[in-house]
Chain A
Amino acid sequence: MTRSSDRPPWGAIAVFLLPALVVYTALTAYPVVRTFWNSLHKVLPNRPDEFVGLANYATLLFSDDTFWRSVRNTLVWACASPLFEVGIALLLALALYAKVPGSRFFRIAWFTPVLMSYVVVGILWVWIYNYDWGAVNALLRLLGLDTWTRAWLGKPETALPALIFVTTWMWTGFNMVVLLASLHSLPSEVIEAAELDNCGWGAKLWHVIIPLVKPTLLNLLVLSFIGKMKIFDLVWITTKGGPLWSTETVSTYLYKRAFEWSTFDLGYPSTIAAVWFVIIMTCVLVLTRVLRTRDRLEY
């Protein structure tokens, strides 16, 4: 026979859980479910929602060139950026870990860009990339490389790389700080043991340090990947997806379809959101599975 004091205090549990559950349901679960529901309908004001089945999905997947162009741009960005950001961040973190002269200054200087919003960063880089008086072209002219000057954000072939450079500049510092914290928490006895074994700097980095910080690297790669899959603000401020859709991302295209295409229909934009949600979820699962550390490191 169970005594009443052994039973879980369901009342108290409910009281503590309810607020979080209500907030989660209203602001996360319901919008997600509603988005999927909308994607199967034509959703217009002043009239009942009209069921269209999978018509929106068929149009999106089989005849919407702009969507596929935006998918390609976003994937290029999401795959390239994490490699640049985390790769450079690792080098910078190692430099700081090795206590290069002025390391305190560099730590602050390299971290500062992440403290700025995308809006500020966007405006700043529109100026830096300006053809006439921007810093990039001014520097090239100073170096006598006038033929290299161009409207960096105005040409389809350079606009996307120019924006990838901006996000790399912005986020490398963040990755660096996280990696630096990870390096500082490495067990000193393992590194000392490697040094006692006459392990060189390169070998120590490759065979000891990188395996030890691998979980952190993986998390940073996944975080950066997800961030770029959702990127909107920077593009909106700098190029609005142009020129010729060369910087169109799925988020900017979704916004355009929802708010700038002279239609109130929320069905088609919801379809884009639903498809992209599934793609991001799949990519994250695959990435986590492929990159995860199979064997637990022991030291």
Chain B
Amino acid sequence: MNRLWHSLAAVARRGTLGVSTAVVALALLVGPALASAQEVTLWTHWAAEKIKREFVEDAIRQFEAANPGVRIKASWYEKTALYAALKTALRAGQGPDIFYAEPDQVEYMENGLLLDLSGLNWNNIEPWAREIWSYKGKPYGFPLEAWTVEVYYNQKMLQDIGMTVPASRQFDAAQFLDLTRKAKAKGWTPMSLGVGDRPFPGAHLTHEALLEKLGTDDYGRLLQGKLPWTDPRVADTLRYLRTLIDAGLLPTSFTSMKLGEAHTYFHTNPGALTFLSGSFYTSRAFNPPDKGGQPAGFPLGIMRFPAMTNAACNHCKTMAVGGSYVVNATAKYPREAVSFLNSMATPANGNRWLEAVLVQTGIKTDASKISGPYAGYFRELAAANVGAKYFFGLPSQVLQGKAKEAFTQIFNNAFPAGSISVDDAVRQMAAAYQ
């Protein structure tokens, strides 16, 4: 007893040990309570895209309020950094529960890295969006962002060259060539486009033309390598495009111009007659002018891509799914992760996305209910898409490996820049599939 007393007295004298013991005891008591808070990790793009970030952060707040004890810990990245971090983390089995992905990243599905999202509330999501994210019959992504390829134009400039968009909103091939020449004669750039920092905008020109000429089925077969690039319809289409390019369709700085610069080039300085862009045009253009947005009162119009001669489907156009969320197959909290995605997949949230982000979404929405200053824009966008037949996915999302690399090098850059002939382009694409 005496010994025990001495030991306790010694412990009491050592103040530091006393504090340490208290900390350990506290940790033992509180630890389990802390551990019971489920922390779902989310790695996402859009660090610099304020509106999209606010949308997701708002969704997190709502989900956490409705699910006490579950916390969504979001880490915001820019896309390139995110992809590099994910490739390493997923290989090491250290990935987050939920992460940002786009449908072209089939390697995730091929390697069993994603959770089958059949449990998602697909009634609230567009069937085509599910189809884009399906792999071997199972859906793997929650398609938050979607967009179509549109030809935006300056109504005033078009008027100044004495042309009017037809009721169908679509010029034919000859009329569009005429438009290009008239704009050029005025000293204007007929179409703003830049590929300095993106692997896809330059290719819009080729893939929209080929899609119209071939129709969705043959165009899909062409991308899959089942229809040869030597098909005469392909060369015909490219020859027409080459005529436009030789007539001075694109800015001379096309190869170095960045996407953001192409926006400004179109609506502000120096001003171009048209701008071939994804419908995410709004995410930059509808910012205040001092933050890169279009000038107040800018006469924005939307026309269809020009009709190709003897085309299979001049009402065909591309729809792409962009930013999406997927769940890690080895997520610590898969149920909570799916539950969070479900909380976003509601028509109300879809409309909120449209109103806030001004870009389409894979969530079912009702654009007629959109009000506010951009309601007119959505009516214009809807009119440009009436009766459209969509091909889902950009070539960069459909193609893989060498064919994808060749398509990017040739049709995103060299062909629109006039650096490669039609015959060479066809030959190199054909070789890329061998």
Chain A positions within 8 Å of B, measured between CB atoms, are: 44-47, 65-66, 126, 129-132, 151, 153-156, 240-245, 256, 259, 261-264
Q: Chain B 97-119, CB within 8 Å of chain A: the 1/0 string?
A: 00000001111001111000000
Contacts A154-B253, A242-B413, A262-B107 aside, 4 further interface pairs with beta carbons under 8 A come to: A130-B253, A132-B253, A259-B83, A263-B110
- A154–B256 contact, CB under 8 A? yes
Let me know if B84 is at the binding interface, CB within 8 A. yes
- A151–B417 contact, CB under 8 A? yes
Most A CB atoms within 10 A — which of B104, B402, B419? B419
Assembled-state Cα–Cα distance A131/B402 (Å)? 30
- B417–A131 contact, CB under 8 A? no
- A262–B106 contact, CB under 8 A? yes
The one of A65, A155, A241 that contacts B417, using a Cβ cutoff of 8 Å: A155
Let me know if B404 is at the binding interface, CB within 8 A. yes
Assembled-state Cα–Cα distance A197/B60 (Å)? 86
Please tell me the number of chain B residues within 8 Å of chain A, measured between CB atoms.
35
21 contacts between A and B (CB under 8 A): A45-B91, A45-B93, A46-B113, A47-B111, A65-B431, A129-B256, A132-B253, A151-B252, A154-B253, A154-B254, A154-B417, A154-B419, A156-B419, A242-B413, A259-B83, A259-B87, A261-B400, A262-B106, A262-B107, A263-B107, A264-B87
Q: Which residues of the other chain, A, contact B401 by a CB distance below 8 angstroms?
A: 261-263
Given contacts A45-B91, A130-B253, contact A244 B419 (CB under 8 A): yes
- A264–B91 contact, CB under 8 A? yes
- B256–A262 contact, CB under 8 A? no
Let me know if B196 is at the binding interface, CB within 8 A. yes
The one of A47, A132, A256, A262 that contacts B400, using a Cβ cutoff of 8 Å: A262
- A132–B83 contact, CB under 8 A? no
Chain B positions within 8 Å of A, measured between CB atoms, are: 83-84, 87, 90-91, 93, 104-107, 110-113, 196, 199, 251-256, 400-402, 404-405, 409-410, 413-414, 417, 419-420, 431
Given contacts A46-B111, A156-B414, A264-B91, contact A151 B256 (CB under 8 A): yes
Q: Which residues of the other chain, B, contact A156 by a CB distance below 8 angstroms?
A: 414, 419
- A151–B255 contact, CB under 8 A? yes
Say whether chain A's binding surface is mostly helix, strand, loop, or mixed.
Answer: loop
Assembled-state Cα–Cα distance A236/B196 (Å)? 12
- A126–B256 contact, CB under 8 A? yes
- B255–A153 contact, CB under 8 A? yes
Assembled-state Cα–Cα distance A130/B252 (Å)? 10
In the complex, residue of chain B having the shortest beta-carbon distance to the beta carbon of A151: B255
Q: Which residues of the other chain, B, contact A243 by a CB distance below 8 angstroms?
A: 255, 409, 413-414, 417, 419
- B107–A264 contact, CB under 8 A? yes
The one of A131, A151, A154, A256 that contacts B405, using a Cβ cutoff of 8 Å: A256
When A and B form their complex, which 10 residue pairs have the shortest distance between CB atoms, in order from nearest? A154-B255, A131-B253, A244-B414, A132-B253, A243-B413, A243-B414, A262-B107, A131-B252, A151-B255, A45-B91
A40 nearest CB across to chain B (Å) = 19
B247 nearest CB across to chain A (Å) = 18
Assembled-state Cα–Cα distance A244/B416 (Å)? 12
Q: Which residues of the other chain, B, contact A130 by a CB distance below 8 angstroms?
A: 253, 256
Q: Which residues of the other chain, A, contact B404 by a CB distance below 8 angstroms?
A: 261-262
Q: Which residues of the other chain, A, contact B106 by a CB distance below 8 angstroms?
A: 262
Q: Which residues of the other chain, A, contact B252 by a CB distance below 8 angstroms?
A: 131-132, 151
Q: Which residues of the other chain, B, contact A47 by a CB distance below 8 angstroms?
A: 111
Assembled-state Cα–Cα distance A195/B91 (Å)? 67
The one of B83, B105, B112, B253 that contacts A151, using a Cβ cutoff of 8 Å: B253
- B111–A45 contact, CB under 8 A? yes
Q: Which residues of the other chain, B, contact A131 by a CB distance below 8 angstroms?
A: 252-253, 256
A232 nearest CB across to chain B (Å) = 14
Q: Which residues of the other chain, B, contact A245 by a CB distance below 8 angstroms?
A: 409
In the complex, residue of chain B having the shortest beta-carbon distance to the beta carbon of A256: B405
Assembled-state Cα–Cα distance A254/B239 (Å)? 34
Assembled-state Cα–Cα distance A212/B105 (Å)? 58
Assembled-state Cα–Cα distance A154/B354 (Å)? 37
